[in-house]
Structure formats: C-alpha cells, structure tokens
Chains A and B, each alone.
Chain A
C-alpha cells in the first residue's frame, strides 16, 4: 500500500529537495516574530536576523569554498533569496533550518561550478569510508601485553588552569587551523554542531545525512581537534 507523499517542506526556490528527516510536529521557532516582521518589510527585523546569522552563514560557506570573497557572495545571495522567498515560507521547518538549507544549496552549486564538488552523497561517502582511529594505535599496549589495548601512553590532564589556556587567542587559532585541515564533511558537521551549537536533528536535516553518519563525522572531527589541543598542551 502506498502512503501519501509528503510535499516538499521548504519553498525557498524550487531546487530545494525535501528534508532528509521530515519535521512532523510543530515546534517553537525562536525567529517567528522576526519572520513575521520580515514579511511586513520591517527593516529592523531584517537587520536583527542578519546580525544573528551572518557570522554562522559565513563560517559554513567558508567550508565549501575556502575563499572569503566567494563565501561572502554566497551569503549575500542567500539573504537575497530569503527576501525573495519569505512570503512563501510557511514555517514547516524553523526559519533557521530553511535559511541554512538555502545557503547549503547555493554553496554546493557554487562548489560544483568551481570544481570543488561536494555533492549530496559525498558527505555520506566520507562518513562511510574507514577513518583514522581517534588515538594512534601505538599509544595502546600490544595484544600480547597483560593489559592488551589499554593505555601505554595515557593522556595527561590539562590541569587546573586549562580553562584560561583553552580560551587563549593562541589556542583559538590552533583550533581554527585544526578544523581547516579536516576533510570537508567533518568540517561541516563540527562547525554546525560544536561551534554553532546546533542539535543533531537540525544538522542531519540541513546536510541530509543520517544520525549515525553525523555522529561518525562528529567523532572523527572532535578526536582530531582534541589531539591537536593535546599536542599543543603537551609541548609546553
């Protein structure tokens, strides 16, 4: 028996595919009032949304195209699409999900044009490829040891003052560099989950990946950033 087809959940431009995980229940949208303002052409509402999301949009766009000029163009195009599409935005997904889907679609189109193809399936492909272990195998005891696969070179606590050290500008630079060296799909997931603080559900919707693949990518990315921090703290 065929179940009725769910219509596409987003309406900002016909190129958008339906959400990977359909949002079935209505949820509070933190931007609802601003969206209403935007529909009434309230400039203050538009500026508030710009300030709220510009930095996040730019950071994600940079994952796709690397140069700041192109990323800024993509973000600008995204806002123009918002202006043009807001009257058709029905609030089936939150404004934030809708906004970032527009960005991701534009960034992907642009990346393909420039030969930096990040197709819809490549994120899943990256997650399903075997990855590096979180910790190099030589840091664990050998299989014939009385404690096989337990720590041989255990991590050292970052100590009481770690919070201040973690927040130092130098550390922030190091974290940014570690992220820039990650494969693209890992960069996208860690950017949205840990830098922007999105829920896994929203990330899966925007990037169109399964929860499992999202966790695999997040795990690899976090493990690499932790390793970079560890190397940094251990050398001091």
Chain B
C-alpha cells in the first residue's frame, strides 16, 4: 500500500502509462481476469483514463463509418463480360 495514495482515489497498482498500452487488450476482451480487475480498479478513480478509453471507442466507431466505394460501371462491365463468357461446364 502506497502511503501517498491514502487520501486520494485508489487507482490500484496500474499507472496511466500502463493503462493506455492495455486499452486494446481490454476492449478485445483479451486481458486475463486478474488484470482486467486491476484495469477496472484504475478506471474507477482516474477520469483522464476514462476519457482516453472513450476516445479509443470513438476512434473505432469513426473508422467503422468511413464511406464505402461503389463499383465503377466500367469495372462492372468488364467483369460481367468475363462472367458471361464463363463456360457452363468445365473441362
């Protein structure tokens, strides 16, 4: 037990510097149970790490919303041409 943490929120034994490197394993559900508990324990007392975790979640959500490209007509035409020439029976 660290003396200087007595009057402040208990952040457990992980540092913020360690937490930011564990964020992906945490979100992926890849942390061993005991480590996950230490991670959660840290979060209960550390607002900046909650913000950090939230920013990672927002980053992932943003990546999932990048616009999709559609198939250009000329590509579609070329491929369909090949498709139509494709023999029904092989060999």
Contact = CB atoms under 8 A, between A and B. Distances in A.
Contacts of A137: 17
Interface in A189-236: 190, 194-195, 197, 200, 211, 215, 218-219, 222-223, 225-226, 229-230
Given A43-B84, A83-B86, A134-B20, A154 B15 contact: no
Interface residues of A, number: 57
Interface string B1-45: 000100000010001111011011100101000000000000000
Interface stretch (A17-25, A97-105, A155-163): A155-163
A51 B71 contact: yes
B42 to A, nearest CB: 10
SS of A interface (majority): helix
**What's the interface size class on B, roughly?**
35 or more
A84 B86 CA distance: 8
Contacts of A117: none
Contact of B63 (A80, A87, A223, A225): A225
Nearest to B86: A83
B67 A226 contact: no
A112 interface: no
Nearest to B48: A154
Contact of A55 (B48, B70, B82): B70
A223 B47 CA distance: 19
Nearest to A135: B20
B69 A55 contact: yes
Listed from nearest, the 5 A-B pairs whose CB atoms lie closest are: A154-B48, A149-B15, A219-B24, A194-B63, A149-B17
